[in-house]
Chain A
Amino acid sequence: MTRMAQSDIHDQAAAYALDALDPEDRWTYERHLDTCDRCREEVAGLREIAGELAYEADGPEPSPELRERILDAAKAEPRTATVVTMRRRWLFPATAAAAVAAACAAVGLGLWANSLRDTQPRVVAMDGGGSLIVEGDQATLVACVDDPPAGKAYEAWVIEDDRPRPAGLFSGGCRHVPLDEPVEPGNTVAVTLEAAEGSDQPTSDILMSANV
């Protein structure tokens, strides 16, 4: 199923709390949560119960090195370099991420922080999945995509008057890609599959696109 009727949306809370919504429905439901206080409350309560199920899990211990790996990776991250204010960050990072990235939690994207309160980024859903966060003339593409075939990469484009400018390469996974090119209202941002080193002009079909 890809679309939910509004009348059906209120019975999605339990499935959402269990992470059992299909990707499109998760996306739709999270947009709905933005506007529905009652639903947010309901989800928060159901999440708490669903979280209890985690305690039932038994099994091996994580390797002792995991702690150090996590801390090393955390220290290596530029925590302020990729800060984007999300107005809608009321629930979980996973949720806020999915409010910008369809089909995937996009956990792992460095998005949410309490800065830049004056500017409200716009979030534009892209045809084909993913989202575009536009703030002034800066745009960041957020998407979860399959690994590209060997020797290929995804390439973002800013298209102005039918002239595409290369705006960045990225690979598979959940990605947070600040575009290399500024955007203006009326531009289109698109993604194609190109050779790993990038192309001067798009050579494949457009996989995702949005009008800025």
Chain B
Amino acid sequence: MSDYAVTLSPAVGRQESEAAREPSDEQVLEAVGRGDDDALGVLYDRFGRLAFRLAFRILRDRALAEDAVQEAFLAIWRSADAYKSERAKPSTWILTVVHRRAVDIVRREQSRRGEPLEVAPEPSAGSADEDAVLRDRRAAVQAALTELPGEQRQALELAYYGGLTQSELAERLGVPLGTVKSRMFAGLGRLRELLAET
């Protein structure tokens, strides 16, 4: 039995200072890297819902989104021992793996179907028991996005949620590739500032 076979409320990742009793995300990831499958369960409890929503936002299909999350968590399982905490926060690393998996799947599906998947926004499900931390954070990101110049926001959303490559973005928006790059770069920079203010 591992140290991580404890009941934790599903939530988004925790900071170390938040609860000394609970292992930090880094500690959980280290345990995953040692092959502790209980720790993998803890990691899923902390990030699984967020990961699924991200994948669903990109893929707009439950089964595909679950595939993406499963593949991403198995990739994390296999490679957590190579994770270097100084390179990225665990949450960033995990979301990166999930995001890339989902984007690769959406591109594969699009090329298979020969047309883009629908990228219209999904109406909020508004889960009642949703974790307050997650809800607050979403509200902060939503607020920051609305503050962004429209062109930057559009570039970030089509790239990150739509899975479009920068060339596809340039084509769709009818602007030069360099303009797309500038918008993405400026958009991320501005988003950083806005989130730092909240």
Contacts and interface: CB of A to CB of B under 8 A. Distances in A.
Interface of A: 1, 11-15, 17-22, 40, 44-63, 66-67, 69-71, 73-75, 77, 79, 86, 89-94, 96-97, 104-105, 107-114, 144
B81 interface: yes
Given A47-B88, A59-B125, A91-B87, A70 B161 contact: no
Contacts of B79: 89, 93, 96, 111-113
List 6 tightest A-B contacts by C-beta distance, closest first: A93-B79, A112-B82, A62-B52, A57-B57, A14-B185, A20-B159
Contacts of A58: 53, 57, 122, 124-126, 138
B31 interface: no
Contact of A55 (B45, B65, B97, B138): B138
Contact of A14 (B12, B76, B188): B188
15 contacts: A19-B103, A19-B163, A52-B144, A54-B99, A57-B53, A62-B66, A62-B69, A70-B40, A71-B44, A74-B40, A89-B82, A92-B87, A94-B101, A96-B79, A107-B72
A94 B96 CA distance: 8
Contacts of B137: 55
B75 A108 contact: yes
B160 A22 contact: no
Contacts of A108: 71, 74-75, 101
B169 interface: yes
A86 B192 contact: no
Contact of B156 (A18, A71, A111): A18
B142 interface: yes
Contact of A66 (B52, B92, B138): B52
Counting chain B CB atoms within 10 Å of each CB, the highest count among A12, A22, A74, A112 belongs to A74
Interface string B178-195: 101100110111011001
Given A13-B185, A51-B96, A56-B145, A61 B52 contact: yes
B96 A56 contact: no
Main SS at interface, chain B: helix
B167 A77 contact: no
Counting chain B CB atoms within 10 Å of each CB, the highest count among A12, A71, A94 belongs to A94
Contacts of A91: 87-88
B91 interface: yes
Contacts of A59: 52-53, 56-57, 122, 124-125
B165 A21 contact: yes
A27 to B, nearest CB: 13
Nearest to A73: B74
B54 interface: yes
Given A52-B144, A69-B66, A86-B82, 10 more contacts: A14-B184, A21-B166, A40-B87, A44-B88, A51-B91, A51-B96, A52-B191, A62-B52, A66-B70, A93-B82
A56 B69 CA distance: 17
B28 interface: no
A92 B57 contact: no
B23 interface: no
Contacts of A70: 40, 44, 48, 69-70, 73-74
A71 B78 contact: no
Given A71-B37, A94-B96, A57 B181 contact: no
A71 B40 contact: yes
Given A62-B66, A113-B81, A77 B74 contact: yes
A61 B49 contact: yes
B69 A66 contact: yes
